[in-house]
A and B are shown apart, each in its own frame.
Chain A
């Protein structure tokens, strides 16, 4: 036994790049490269850029929340401050002819975000608990409030705007078109994500996990929990600032909205929705949230209600977030039982989806009934036109909702049973596996 395991140790190679670790990066980069050929419209490019920026910000945020166990209610400050600084620099480039190529602007944002984080972190990272959360909230409020006071930096209510195209052309690119900005943003996305991933693999990144799990024990291993938190905080501030710089390049304007508590709250929501326990969680959260925000908001005024409900349900039933849900399936996959889950899923999730759509329809018809202009009785849902003052649509909607949920509930027992079976090894007749 000892012999075989020591041979195993010798065989394990360290530091080598394996397909397992490199493949996801290559695939994601390839997807980023071809996406603009699939979705060519300007609005699609805008959404994708927005997505990329949110991903960088959410990953930066998760360096605190997921990796370091620090719950911040004011992280928009670092993205916002980085963004504002970048807008100023963009304007200096334009008026003072500073030779700074536009693609390097996010570095400025990053350094400024990190500078802010160094100052704030020097006292806020003393503990990770409630005190840290409250300080982050206070600082968030403070900076948001000073945005109307320090007009020279924050530009008051109009914010600060500029024009990215007046800088030095880089290899002939002036970043006039959306597609050029897309590739710039995507490049920074890959670079930042990679650096953040690598950071989590460094000694201080590993110790961030240790301090998150058990700050006291970490102290007895020679590490000051406070310094470990401080380094994570600064690194997170850097990448938040990079996201701010990307925002400045994309939208050419920053306002108070970029650093207020609403933005801070939504990045928490996005990160949690995606899942704090896995590196890729915030990426999924950012993609899903941006899609909901941009697609759903075109369809309905109530989109925030639905996003809120999704968030609450995630927190209650899937605290691991969407990434957690995905990773739950690794065990059944390894046992080769993923296929047994397909039918139960279909039988439960389709009725559930119908029930949810029915419930949403109910919210919509109710909302229309109460808030539409006087005399305006017609509305359409899923392409069907009807009058909100006729009882038929109400009956249909309520009926479909109840039926959907009833079916889902009835079939969920089978799903639960299959799920339990899919997670245990089928014991061979000879007996114990261990």
Chain B
């Protein structure tokens, strides 16, 4: 069985500094995988490489066995990979409903159609309403997305990400900056909407990671120092050093 996502010898340099220093990782279909690691380890950069936002310096990314080299983000998205961003990335001047509806268009086969009316398609509109319901934003339906609260915008970000029905979902710090109740809400939401899909998420909250994920990879200075099931990773010497190191640094 081919893995949903496979990274092989992935490297990325910005100028002289190598940020991703040879990452090998295989994530199976339906697996929930967390990537953890200290700030600046390169987690977001790794996401950007996988989704085609930046080109890699060397190495391979394979989605369902297909090499993604040279593919633009929109092509990768069409192959069934969707992502959210660490810094909220929505369409601020469009309504919440419109945000979600736009994210359904491609997967519903509308492409660049200029002969269909978006308001005429029952499937499209009901699909969008359903997602609004799922992310609990039905009451905000007609507001410009830019005026939502931070937590609501994060929920919308997730809604946009999952709307297109991609089977590989990548979430970059979905709970960052949230209160405990908001975190619980978002985690419940993630659990609900990624049912049966492959999930790859960057997350700092260990409670979230251990509760949600099947496997964990620890990224430190651009390298994966450990991959495995939550319990095994927690006990791992290298991980403890990495986190201990980071904790000591923070004390200075």
| A interface with B by C-beta (< 8 Å) | 2, 5-6, 9, 12, 14-15, 198-199, 201-207, 209-210, 212-214, 216-224, 227-228, 231, 235
Contacts and interface: CB of A to CB of B under 8 A. Distances in A.
B83 interface: yes
Contact of A222 (B94, B139, B164): B164
B126 interface: yes
Contacts of B118: 201-203, 206
B91 A214 contact: yes
A135 B220 CA distance: 45
Given A9-B129, A14-B119, A202-B115, A217 B90 contact: yes
B93 to A, nearest CB: 5
5 contacts: A2-B133, A213-B92, A213-B94, A214-B92, A221-B106
Interface string B92-110: 1110001001110111001
Contact of A209 (B94, B129, B138): B94
A181 B85 CA distance: 55
A70 B77 CA distance: 25
A217 B117 CA distance: 22
Given A206-B105, A210-B102, A201 B94 contact: no
Nearest to B130: A9
Interface in B105-143: 105-107, 110-122, 125-126, 129, 133, 138-139
A6 B134 CA distance: 12
Contacts of B117: 15, 198, 201-202
Q: Name the residue among A12, A203, A218, A224 with the largest chain B CB count within 10 angstroms.
A: A203
A231 B112 CA distance: 8
B74 A222 contact: yes
B198 interface: no
B68 interface: no
Given A213-B91, A220-B83, A221-B77, A202 B114 contact: yes
Contacts of A212: 93
Given A14-B120, A206-B105, A209-B98, A220 B82 contact: yes
B77 A205 contact: no
Interface residues on B, range: 35 or more
A213 B99 CA distance: 10
B126 A9 contact: yes
Among all A-B residue pairs, the 8 with the closest Cβ atoms? A222-B106, A15-B120, A203-B110, A213-B91, A219-B73, A222-B77, A202-B114, A204-B112
A219 B72 contact: yes
Interface of B: 51, 53, 72-74, 77-78, 82-83, 85, 89-94, 98, 101-103, 105-107, 110-122, 125-126, 129, 133, 138-139, 160, 164
Contacts of A218: 74, 102
Contacts of A9: 126, 129, 133, 138
Contacts of A198: 117
B92 A220 contact: no
Nearest to B166: A222
A210 to B, nearest CB: 5
B67 to A, nearest CB: 19
B112 A228 contact: yes
A169 to B, nearest CB: 34
Nearest to A221: B103
Given A15-B120, A221-B160, A222-B107, A202 B91 contact: no
Nearest to A277: B93
A230 to B, nearest CB: 9
A206 B98 contact: yes
Given A220-B51, A222-B164, A209 B91 contact: yes
B122 A220 contact: no
A218 B73 CA distance: 9
A94 to B, nearest CB: 35
Contacts of A217: 85, 89-91, 160
Contacts of A203: 105, 110-114, 116, 118
A201 B164 contact: no
A388 B109 CA distance: 72
B107 to A, nearest CB: 7
B53 to A, nearest CB: 8
A207 B122 contact: no
Contacts of A228: 112
Nearest to A5: B138
A227 B110 CA distance: 14
A348 B102 CA distance: 44
B115 A220 contact: no
Given A14-B120, A201-B117, A207-B105, 20 more contacts: A5-B139, A9-B129, A15-B120, A201-B119, A202-B115, A203-B118, A206-B98, A206-B105, A210-B102, A212-B93, A213-B94, A214-B91, A217-B89, A217-B91, A219-B72, A219-B77, A221-B106, A222-B77, A222-B106, A222-B164
Contacts of B133: 2, 5-6, 9
Nearest to B110: A203
Contacts of A204: 112-114
Contact of B94 (A210, A219, A221, A224): A210
A61 to B, nearest CB: 18
Q: Name the residue among A212, A224, A227 with the largest chain B CB count within 10 angstroms.
A: A224
Given A207-B102, A222-B107, A199 B93 contact: no
Contacts of A5: 133, 138-139
Contacts of B120: 14-15
